Structure 1
């Protein structure tokens, strides 16, 4: 069974994360996302909507899976590489991408959303953010810059250091998301935004977008992620304890 549902809406293709129950980002899901994006482009998609499940867009990286790898640093690096490859595929996409967030988007879910051009989120008690410090991790410099690009450096510092997860209304106020709508209309509103861009003269729109997003693409350069260092930090006892405590709190 595919972990990505592909739904074609004319010139816009919706890629829906479909790994129940919360679209935890394991290597299989990340690899399928990158492959589905490439396939959509090969089939002529002029715009992309990335959506997820109701109430949870994506709960982020599959922490139980990562913990099950123990101290196998090669396997850990492979798992994190799959995630960053999927994120880079979104950032490097040559056509507009809108994220449809019909629920929570913590950690890795937030990163995927930040890699999109535009973010539509469901109204209500849903939260989005990079909560890494709350489980004993430091977000890589490139990820921090990706957040700062969207909300500004000072506000990004406050959010990242605290591991804060603003709710939907606050996320809209600070620019972390671009639009709020009813939970059942999130994917439709994301598609409408893409379709409006597609009404513009195509080449100038795409070239302007490419130039404007060059700094976002730069954020995920390998040197700015420093994956070996990040994986080593993942193995630190404090981090492992924080992750296991988080799983205990949510009953995993």
Structure 2
């Protein structure tokens, strides 16, 4: 089981991650997320992604990261495909972060159109260097393009873990709300974005994201060469 559910209603696709644990972005979870985005795109839906209470996601499956090998490579390849899918998604994409968001999950925040977090003792950060992992070639362009410049070194190089308030300053979140208001506020936001002209939205986002997309594509092609 992937721990993911998809509900489509009135032009809005709600994707919920809930594996009962840390919502690790295993290959199974990533493939399910990619499939859900494909279904949402086919239905011309705006998307809202959320996690379970207290945690959006802890990022990649740590056991696979530590073990390395083909299974880890396949998981990371699925994560790279998710990055491209989010950049290329043809409709508004909002994330409601229900708590902690670390590593790959924090990169998901950076790639969404609008990001809401909740107030409280939650952690957001890029902890790759802290766990002995060089920041991947395909990850650094995302951090450089989407984090506030003054926070790039602190987040990407120094692996500083942020509370929600500092995560807003760094550029991971657009706004914070209380936990009991999160989904209502996120639904209102995605519904508002869905009312914008879809063609203009899609093409303007493409223009805005093209430099990052080109850099990300080049990094992935270089890795696979």
Normalised by the size of structure 1, how large is the TM-score? 0.81
Q: Does 1:163 align with 2:159?
A: yes
- Structure 1 runs (4+) greater than 3 angstroms displaced: 224-229
Q: Flag the 1:22–1:226 CA change in 2: closer, same or farther, 3 A.
A: farther
After TM superposition, list the pairs within 5 Å mapping 1:47-196 onto structure 2: 47-67=46-66, 70=67, 73-196=69-192
Cα contact 1:114–1:147 (8 A) shared by 2: yes
After TM superposition, list the pairs within 5 Å mapping 1:223-238 onto structure 2: 223=219, 227=223
SS class of match (1:111): helix
State the shift of 1:197 in Å. Answer: 2.0
In our comparison, the structure showing a higher alpha carbon Rg is 1
Q: Flag the 1:93–1:202 CA change in 2: closer, same or farther, 3 A.
A: closer
Give the structure 2 partner of residue 20 of structure 1.
20
More moved, 121-130 vs 171-180: 171-180
Cα contact 2:83–2:108 (8 A) shared by 1: yes
Q: Distance in 1 between matches of 2:169 and 2:87?
A: 24
Q: Distance in 2 between matches of 1:208 and 1:114?
A: 17
Q: Distance in 2 between matches of 1:12 and 1:63?
A: 32
SS class of match (1:57): strand
CA RMSD of aligned residues (A): 2.2
State the shift of 1:35 in Å. Answer: 0.6
Give the structure 2 partner of residue 7 of structure 1.
7
User: Number of residue pairs matched?
Assistant: 225
State the shift of 1:216 in Å. Answer: 3.3
Q: Distance in 1 between matches of 2:184 and 2:223?
A: 36
Give the structure 2 partner of residue 208 of structure 1.
204
More moved, 140-149 vs 215-224: 215-224
More moved, 83-92 vs 125-134: 83-92
Q: Distance in 1 between matches of 2:94 and 2:20?
A: 22
Q: Distance in 1 between matches of 2:139 and 2:221?
A: 7
Give the structure 2 partner of residue 243 of structure 1.
none
What are the ranges of 5 or more consecutive residues in structure 1 without an aligned counterpart? Answer: 230-252
TM-superposition CA deviations, 1:64-117 (whole Å, max 9, x none): 2344xx46x333322211121122212211111111101000101111221211
Cα contact 1:16–1:50 (8 A) shared by 2: yes
